């Protein structure tokens, strides 16, 4: 089972993403708190899903991929129908793809 931690999203975006990710094989972790890094340390997820549109996301991704290289990061944009996937152990390399429910679930599970 893939353990997924959600970053900070608006309530509507969070609900939509959670509905997409509620599929077999994905466990959405319920770890509360304002600090994503502290929640990551507490939860030890396989994947973290972040809001690509937030200004601090690039810096946060850099910290995660260098401090927690085994964690996959998927950053989704609400402004553009796209996402960036930072595979584990690639230290910041990423690929971009369309933000589509099936592609998002696949990126999180792969």
Instruction: Give the torsion sign (CA, 35, 23, 17, 57).
Output: positive
Q: Measured between alpha carbons, how far is 27 from 42 in angstroms, rounded to an integer?
A: 15
Instruction: Output Rg (C-alpha) for the chain, integer angstroms.
Output: 12
Q: Can you give the pTM of this predicted structure?
A: 0.94
Q: List the chain pLDDT tens, one digit each, 110 residues.
A: 999 999 988 888 999 999 999 988 999 998 887 789 999 999 999 999 999 999 999 999 999 999 999 999 999 998 999 999 999 999 999 999 999 999 999 999 98
């Amino acid at each position: 089972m893939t353990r997924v931690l959600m970053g900070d999203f608006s309530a509507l975006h969070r609900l939509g993403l959670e509905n997409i990710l509620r599929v077999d094989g994905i466990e959405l972790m319920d770890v509360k708190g304002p600090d994503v890094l502290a929640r990551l340390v507490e939860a030890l997820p396989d994947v973290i899903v972040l809001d690509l549109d937030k200004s601090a996301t690039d810096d946060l991704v850099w910290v995660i991929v260098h401090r927690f290289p085994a964690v996959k990061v998927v950053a989704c944009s609400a402004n553009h129908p796209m996402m960036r996937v930072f595979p584990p152990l690639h230290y910041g390399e990423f690929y971009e793809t369309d933000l589509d429910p099936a592609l998002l679930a696949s990126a999180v599970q792969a």
